[in-house]
Chain A
Amino acid sequence: MNAANPSIQLIRAQWLNLLRTPAYTLPTLLFPVMFYVFFGLLMLRGQSLWLLCTFATFGVMGAALFSFGVSIATERAQGWLLLLRASPAPVSAVIAGKAFGALLFAIVIVVMMAALAAAFGEVRLETSQWLGLAGILTLGALPFCLMGLALGLWLSPNAAPAVLNIVYLPLGFLSGLWIPSTVFPGWLQSVAEWLPPYHLAALALDITGAKPADWGHSLAVLGVFGLVFAVMTALGWRRLAGVS
């Protein structure tokens, strides 16, 4: 009887892939942290706490979108996904491996930013607040994982990075993750309030005491957003199987 667990082996393979692709791993981890250093610690020192919450949201969103979107599109094109679907591999473990990878990235990004914020931005929080911030941002990455997965199933590997950047950067900006949405014109503030990253950042801001949030409303927006992309994922999967 085979003692090796296929799910663990598949998750291990995903992680080896991340470790052996520094050209992807390092920018994904360092890009949002670098933004936070420039904006939150060097330029707008009084806003260090606020920008910690918003740039950490920006970082976990990027890790989730890219670790799913680009890798699924690439694995589809190179035939890896095809071979796994033809084998008795538990494909759910492929998805779980990527989700663990994205969540690990989320934690690393939040911890790096939090350490910088505490050391150089004079941000002081209770232990429960630090843990709550890490927890909400890590779990909050899940709807964006679904968005990345859905786009990865529908986009070609050449289109995926470009489309994801077109989605990621404007979505971050319009959600007030770079500049607080309170400085936007009124109509643009209304747009921001419909966007999921705005609501994830709102929950992070609430936990750190920077600004109170309507948890029910924000969770509902994130839930509906995740559900839409779960349906798109299911449709994308059926499309792979040639079901019209």
Chain B
Amino acid sequence: MDKPVVAECSALHHDYGSTPALAGIDLTLHGGRVTALLGPNGAGKTTLIHLLLGILSVQRGKISLFGDLEPGRTEAQRRIGVMLQASGVQDNLTVSELLALFASFYPEPDSQIGLLDELDLVDLADRRFDRLSGGQKQRALFALAVVGRPDWLILDEPTTGLDPAARRILWRAIEARRRAGVSILLCTHFMDEAQKLADHVVVLDRGRVLDQGSPDAIRRRVPSDRILARTALPKEKLRTLPAVQAVHAGEDRVEILSRRGIDTVRALLAADDTVDDLEVAGADLETAFLALTDSAQPEQEAA
């Protein structure tokens, strides 16, 4: 049986002046799962989130939340918890003052003591927000997002700037919400995060939905091999090798995405006898994401 729909967007367009940010989004977000929203910078992810939250007004198209609610309506907002990439707080308030403030916005808030404990914030409860470290701030912002016991949690790059230990604390907290049946929209640039947490992936590029499905389905959709190597050949030459889909320059190795890795490797070794540090692997989510967004680029430029 299909899970309930938390949000439905149809023919959604949004422009900033003459610059289009969303160019016709049709998207249904089902509840009870983690949906990762992936896309390069400028893909329209934050615009879409701001429209879902009612921070931006819909210019063209339609959004319905929880069946029939418009974004920005208090009834909808009471069911949504949010952690925004560009949001801050009144930073001379303490963590517990902020938590009490946000708890007051919701009809049946969660236990503030329990949240402080879960997010390792107990010793920081009386510390002002502006005196927290980056990781502590992110955990406090997550606590504000979930204190209202939301049905739908929208997280815009929640782990950016966090060290591995702090990331793990947030991942555990996100997984706990998913197990409790909370629907989650996770916008992230970290593919390992999407791979680990998401049940469903939506790839956005240039204001359009390029693809969507489970992380495994997305990976399989791109029958790519990923070749890493140190080579003297320039990117332009590498692109002409057989079966190559995309080439990305890394710090010391290039990454080549190929439809048939074996053919590309043979040609590469024939063209450059200085090739070193060669590694071939199957596609992961990141590879698939890069292949999808790269292959969309020329088509859309030509359009």
Contacts and interface: CB of A to CB of B under 8 A. Distances in A.
Interface string A106-119: 00000000000000
A13 B97 contact: yes
Interface string B107-142: 111000000000000000000100000000000000
A243 B72 CA distance: 14
A244 B148 CA distance: 33
Given A13-B101, A16-B92, A241-B56, A86 B108 contact: no
Contacts, number: 94
Given A4-B100, A241-B57, A16 B93 contact: yes
B104 A16 contact: no
Interface string A226-244: 0000000000001011111
A75 B108 CA distance: 27
A12 B89 CA distance: 15
Contact of A242 (B56, B89, B91): B56
Interface in A1-59: 1-2, 4-6, 8-10, 12-13, 16-17, 20-21
Interface residues of A, number: 31
Contacts of A240: 55
Contacts of A82: 55, 84, 86-87
A78 B84 CA distance: 12
B133 to A, nearest CB: 17
A131 interface: no
A85 interface: yes
Nearest to A78: B88
Given A87-B102, A242-B16, A79 B90 contact: no
A2 B77 contact: no
A216 B61 CA distance: 49
A101 B59 CA distance: 36
B30 interface: no
A33 to B, nearest CB: 25
Contacts of B86: 79, 82
Interface string A59-92: 0000000000000000100111011011111000
B84 A86 contact: yes
Interface of A: 1-2, 4-6, 8-10, 12-13, 16-17, 20-21, 75, 78-80, 82-83, 85-89, 238, 240-244
